[in-house]
Structure 1
Amino acid sequence: MAETEVKSNSCADDLEKHVMKVFEEATKDCEDKVLKEIFDSIGDYGDLNKYAISVFNSMANDKFIEVARELFKPRSESTAVLPDVAIYTVVIWACISAGKIMAAHKVYHHMIANGVAPTSCTYIILINTLATNSSSDVNFVGYAKKYFLEMLDKGMTPISSSYMAVFKAIARQEPVEKAREFLEQIQTKGFSPKLDVPHFDVAYMEEAMNALKMSDLLINATTDNKLQKLYREWSTTRKPLRDEFPKMYKALKADGNDDQAMELYRRAWDTNIIPEVVLHTGVIEDCLKAGNTECALKAYRTMLATGVAPNSYTYTVLIKGLTADPHFVEDAKKCLLEMMDKGMRPNAATYTAVIEGFARQEDKEAEEEGKQFVEVMMGKGLEPNVKAMMEVLKGRPKGVIRRVISIVLSKLKG
């Protein structure tokens, strides 16, 4: 019994030494200072195992739990030592986490050259990373497609996020014919994504691709560096868009704009892509929150220049934001009238904000402009609701409230 235990321990020691050699091979060409510090801190198998556990936990948090378990499955029941593929994949993960995608790809090639077969986890990490960063290297989309097809050839099933990442990379970098070709290839190999991924339907593909390309187009539609940065952040970061979409939908419904709300929902459902109006409106809101009214107005003009139609919520956000700056009250008035000319009805908070913008100037000329604005607004079929306006004006200085109501009543009496 004791002899068997000694042999078992000896076998485990040999495997651990082997694994450390694999780790050294995988990291030998690392030139990045940050990565070198991480790799140099791993002096023995115990350190490597701890690092591997931290990577496993990160993968599990990213919903890769099943493929992560497959990757880190021990060589055998008797020796809980990490397999070679797990070591290479951990190094690939480390490179990607440090933003070194080319280095990660190089490690993958080392892995293949040394006869180590990738698991589903290895492929998924590479595919998602290469596809997501395809704009930084024209070759990345090709590699992402190649590895996706390799997975299918080996009987592995890519997850939906990998399919979506590759699809979006093709949409941004290649013509629609390439997307159709890719769809035919994966269909031939028996791949069908989950039912909640409508991009698989060719009928929606071209519209979805055009929407994705628009995200890149609008970044180049302005020369304002701050605005370009905002567009890039909104285009590449999913969470703000996911948060903005329900906010816009609920606001449209609350104001009685059911048709616009359903159109927003339909477009998102049909293409599985959040409509561009959401992105533009989010950028406008960010500009206004930062106190940069000029930037918000530029964002609105960029929106129009790229052919994206604002909805009632976009106008509400923009108009109320413009009126907060006395230098842009005239712009707010123009936007509100433009909104009405497009058949959209502003809510009480929106038209009150414009009238208040004139009233706050405490100037007879501005007050007359306010009265003319109310007259034009009424001529377009919208009569101000004084009761609703009083609700909006709660908490304002009494002088401002008095001037706002005076402007409105002068026209209502007439």
Structure 2
Amino acid sequence: MWKMIQEMVKSPCAIGPADLSEIVKILGRTKMVNKALAVFYQIKNRKCNPTASTYNSIILMLMQEGHHEKVHELYNEMCGEGNCFPDTVTYSALISSFGKLGRENSAIRLFEEMKENGLYPTAKIYTTMLGIFFKLGKVEKALGLVGEMKEAGCAPTVYTYTELIRGLGAAGRVEEAYSIFLKMLDDGCKPDVVLINNVINLLGRAGRLAEAIKLFEGMESLGCTPNVVTYNTIIKSLFESKAPVSDIILWYEKMKTSGIRPSSYTYSILIDGFCKKNSLEKALLMLEEMDEKGFPPCPAAYCSLINSLGRAKRYDAAHELFQELKENCGSSSARVYAVMIKHFGKCGRLTEAVDLFNEMKRLGCSPDVYAYNALMSGMVRAGMTDEAQSLLRTMEENGCVPDLNSYNIILNGLARTGGPHRAMEMFTKMKNSKMKPDVVSYNTVLGCLSRAGMFEEAAKLMKEMHLNGFEYDRITYSSILEAVGKVDEDSKLAAL
């Protein structure tokens, strides 16, 4: 085919714009993108002037293959032709490309330019713009666009409703999204399984599990068949609503009975959910089943299991699973390393925690804030607060930005081993920086002051804490009562 096209290009035979479009489409379908571009320019320069339709063929081919930056170059070239103007198909492709590239403002400019040029946006273009406005957090603008669409006589499609419902759900406007779904059904727009999955997801996340299940049960009457995503969404919602383990297993069995094969994500949801419910053995069985089905190891699932084993003080089993993940994947993620480092630090195996931290750096897995925090926490537990402070400085030097937890870990270490003055010094620095103290910071220093018998300073700090909008919690009162009890005990011993 390629030899024939080359021969055709070199021959004296005429090639029109429609022929050129067809050649581009054929080469695009066979993934010969560079050859399609080469032929396009050879024929363009020697045999014919491309039309908007010809440019659209090459633009759509580039889009399908993910060459979004090149799409804009073709658009500029097309505009420079002087007699070849972008049409609705061109604008649709460009707006979609800019949306995928994260260049939302450029997409909005093109949308306005299109209307100024007297072209009417299609339902697909309106749907793309809806997604862009929701992504930018411009919910009212998105809703206004739906109104504009209807006024222009452009009927919303099932894809438009999907984008609208998804966007409103992400903005927390669940009731509004659900009302739009119900009105869509009343208006006779037939949903597809993707739209139904989105509605079930937003109902589940809002804790409206009964309505989500009711919609699931009514899918057949709507002409939709549940797929693996539908079941995954229901199972995830069951976990989030703290449903009994027996109910979740029933849904999982129902899924398999319906002839739907669990996906890697299904197992990930089940493993993570069972771990959070402290059903560790069930989670381990799911990991075994996942392996038997031939799915590649899922780092997120392993991470949940390693963390749960660590919480259950089964540190060797956690480490064995960690090693298994590395052997099967060839490496491990920074988050999994962080979990293992955290548990080694908790059980006093700091040398092994440090070894893992150095190993991840050696293997090119840059430690993230969680890995640094895990190691600093282990150091503080071992009474190595100065070393933890040094690691905090290294973290900043390496371009890893500390979070509030990073500072609270060091603050806790100073409060326990450095005395109230060093703790107060760091606490003051935190107040004067961007990293403002939270309730944990206040409670840490409050406990330190109380243990040192500095009750007047502690009382001032409690007042400041209240003025800054922090509520006293069990830890706040516990710190004060523990210190008061210690003072009473010391007084009785002195009297004896």
TM-score (norm 1): 0.36
Who wins on radius of gyration, i.e. which is larger? 2
TM-score (norm 2): 0.31
Q: Quick one: higher RCO (CA 8 Å, sep 6+), 1 or 2?
A: 1
